[in-house]
């Protein structure tokens, strides 16, 4: 009998076809988020659950008993939405999709840096509204990106890819904060300097780009006092997770002009966005687009399938977290 698999949201068609060939697959044809009750039922009825980063798999959605699920193959690299302790308690293997979305997420970090500093969103809104008065030397003056200092918080794969783009594409100096020491070849090539505290990075950087995981360990890492430690003309870029930033403190800092602006692809409590952010011209807001390219979304799906197939074939699972 083929293992019973449930996919919580629509995936790229080629990946869905592959899943149907290999497994007894149930798709969520309506593509609306499953409720807690539906998720709980999924753990009772299916050998594999294939969630994504917008499904909240808290301890409460794991049933007390009769858990049939053996593996959770997450579509996405971040897994702070999964209570991994609860999964472990039920003997469920959990996998993610690292590596395949590195470039596209780093690209979006650069896109946000450029858009917010060069006022691209604001300029486009003005033009579309028919309010562009025409070129003049003082029109919509932004901040130069090339040659500035980038501060990376979390020098993992995506942090490094962003630093590479900043260094080699825009001649930026790179400083970074990472809990453990990082001094591999790549860091040497970028000539990036690891500073001993987050505060030192915040004090030096013209752009602070967040690349650390979400979840309890980094919740509100960027709080009021850390925002105050940033340069007044600096920009905050977040493509990591919304909960890494204290959103209310960010709104206050932007209103008080403590920092120059922010480029945000992720939000605490997304898809809800705090109203004040929507009205600020010095903020660029994207709907969690980091990995949203055809190539990357297919690669993410394929990676999840590889994990699943390895698990059911009894081979070592490549991207096992739990």
Active site residues: 241, 270, 288
Task: Please work out, in degrees rounded to the nearest 5, the angle formed at the alpha carbon of residue 75 by the alpha carbons of 114 and 250.
Answer: 40
Phi, psi of 28 (to 5 degrees): -90, 85
C-alpha span between 65 and 63 (Å, rounded): 5
x/- track of binding to ligand DGY for residues 44-63 (CB under 6 A) = ---------x----------
Q: Of all helices (H) and strands (E), which one includes residue 53? A: none
Q: Which is nearer to ligand DGY, 105 or 115 (CB)?
A: 105
Q: Which is nearer to ligand DGY, 111 or 190 (CB)?
A: 111
Q: Residues 291, 301, 305, 319: which binds ligand DGY (CB under 6 A)? A: 291
Q: Where are the alpha helices (DSSP H) in 27-175?
A: 36-45, 84-89, 102-117, 120-128, 157-164, 170
Strands ordered across the beta sheet of 93-95 = 24-27, 4-7, 48-50, 71-73, 93-95
Q: Residues 12, 261, 290, 301: which binds ligand DGY (CB under 6 A)? A: 290
Nearest approach, Cβ of residue 96 and ligand DGY (Å): 7
x/- track of binding to ligand DGY for residues 101-120 (CB under 6 A) = x-------------------
Nearest approach, Cβ of residue 32 and ligand DGY (Å): 19
Chain center to CA of 20: 28
x/- track of binding to ligand DGY for residues 69-98 (CB under 6 A) = -------xxx--------------------
State the first-to-last Cα distance of the chain, in angstroms, to the nearest integer: 26
Q: Which residues bind ligand DGY (CB under 6 A)?
A: 53, 76-78, 101, 290-291
């Amino acid at each position: 009998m083929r293992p019973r698999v449930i996919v919580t949201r629509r995936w790229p068609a080629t990946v869905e076809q592959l899943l149907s060939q290999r497994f007894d697959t149930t798709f969520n044809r309506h593509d609306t988020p499953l409720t807690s009750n539906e998720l709980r039922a999924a753990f009772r009825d299916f050998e594999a659950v294939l969630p994504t980063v917008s499904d909240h798999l808290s301890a409460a959605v794991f049933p007390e008993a009769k858990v049939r699920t053996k593996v959770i193959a997450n579509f996405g690299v971040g897994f702070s939405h999964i209570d991994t302790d609860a999964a472990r308690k039920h003997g469920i293997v959990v996998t993610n999709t690292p590596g395949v979305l590195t470039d596209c997420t780093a690209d979006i970090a650069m896109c946000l840096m450029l858009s917010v500093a060069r006022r691209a969103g604001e300029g486009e809104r003005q033009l579309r509204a028919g309010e562009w008065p025409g070129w003049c030397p003082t029109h919509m003056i932004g901040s130069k990106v090339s040659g500035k200092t980038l501060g990376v918080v979390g020098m993992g794969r995506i942090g490094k890819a962003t630093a590479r783009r900043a260094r080699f594409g825009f001649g930026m100096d790179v400083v970074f904060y990472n809990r453990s020491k990082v001094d591999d070849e790549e860091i040497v090539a970028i000539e990036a300097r690891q500073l001993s505290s987050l505060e030192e990075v915040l004090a030096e950087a013209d752009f602070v780009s967040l690349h650390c995981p979400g979840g309890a360990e980094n919740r509100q890492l960027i709080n009021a006092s850390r925002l105050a430690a940033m340069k007044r003309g600096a920009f905050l870029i977040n493509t990591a997770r919304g909960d890494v930033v204290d959103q209310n403190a960010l709104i206050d800092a932007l209103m008080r002009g403590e920092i120059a602006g922010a480029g945000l692809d992720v939000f605490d409590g997304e898809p809800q966005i705090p109203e004040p952010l929507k009205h600020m011209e010095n903020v660029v807001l994207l709907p969690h687009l980091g990995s949203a390219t055809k190539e990357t979304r297919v690669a993410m799906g394929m990676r999840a399938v590889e994990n699943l197939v390895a698990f059911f074939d009894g081979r070592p699972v490549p991207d096992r977290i739990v």
